[in-house]
Structure 1
Amino acid sequence: MPILSNLDFTRSNLHVAYRASLDPQLVDISVATAGVTRFPYAQLTVRKLLTSVNSGSAGGARFPPTAGAAIITDEGSDPCGPNYFWRVRMAAVDPLFLRTVVEELRMAGLDHPVTSMRITGSLPLDATVLSVREADVKRWLDDPDAYVGQWPDPGFPVVDQGRWAMFRIRLGAEITPALRRKLDLLALGWLNDVSSYIWDTGEPEAGRIDRSLPRCGSGKVEFAAGYDDFYFKTGPARARLVNALSRFHATVAPIELAEISP
């Protein structure tokens, strides 16, 4: 049984056929809900998911963070439903990321429940672990540890520090105002990446999102972000941050050291 709520549709109305690859492919995502909303929540959710891909955090342990890419090529639906469709060109997205796609889009209709969901990639399935169907995703929905993993070589040393929720990085470049803005977005992106993750207790818990927002500070070459109510599953949450930092290191500014808690 899925850990999170609002996933009843997955029992019989979830269809998945996806083979992950470094090569770009088209992935069709369709969601049907029970009614029209007043706010385009589903559209914003998809863009949030694609931002995660483009920040490098969705490649997991299988694909380098620099390879993640996603862009909407077709959006054939009313922004407020009740039926939604997106065609996305994407590459280097770990199959386990589909768990997060399903859990995020389970609220596509807000007060109107999702009645069905389909995620279909253009690449043919094969017998490798990169190919998944709905049975795999449904199994992950019931597993507190089934999230994307950490890329093994982020490109800089990572030191674990304590149990409070924070991270601190030392850069090999001076932090200009433009770079500081990008660092602030990186800190906020970590929260967005894991906002649907279960908590360390193994259960979904309601928290105040305003207390989860990062408090950021920087010096000449150091940046730090701290979080109050941030109790998301420690290992998976840390993996998403390391992956995003690795992408940042390779494409924005070099990181000499990262200290992370959790």
Structure 2
Amino acid sequence: MSALLTLERVSAGYGHQQVIRDLSLALGEGQLAALIGPNGHGKTTLLRTISGLLHPSGGTIALEGRRLDRLRPDQIVEAGIIHVPQGDLLFPEMTVLENLRMGAYLPEAAREEARRLEEVFALFPKLRDRQGQLAGTLSGGERRMVGIGRGLMAGGRLLMLDEPSLGLAPIVIDQIYEAIATLRASGRSVLIVEENAMRIAELADVLHLLDNGSFAWSGSGAELLSRPESLAAYLGA
């Protein structure tokens, strides 16, 4: 399988504080890869670096061979990487529909807006009923659905999700994971940050364990599920 996303010895951080160090990975077309590990060890920083919100201090990032690490965030979106950040980050005084349509601002996405809306509503049926409701009045789970849906409206080759289940009730987490499973089954390439390693292991093709800014372990979901005790110290199990 040829790589869609390639990172080679990527380092990044904030000011003089280096958070991630010499990270390399390859994500294939149609794969779901998960970043797992303790809080504060670089998972969100890595997503922010890929999407251009942080500039790497070293290394290269490429999408199908095209260098991204020198591009602006808007250029990276145009190249095909969509980043759904942690938290809601919606426009609370706008309706659900208006928030979703904000994701379809690129020319190609605008042309396909109606079709993509139907895809989002099929993935999250509750949003069809809520489309005229102000985003600020939604429940936490509904806001998370809108955030993911807005990212899907932009299209792209790779969808990056930062802790999509964070702070949600178990029944809502099940709904979010059903949607992620549907995306994976449709062939969508996904890179996801998730604290619940055992849950994402059921879906992921590959998992990367980040510890102090470096990969301490990489392997398949099946490998993690077959010997979770080997990673217990890192995962807090």
Fold shared per TM-score above 0.5: no
Please identify the structure whose Cα radius of gyration is greater: 1
When normalised by structure 2's length, the TM-score is 0.28
User: Greater helix percent: which structure?
Assistant: 2
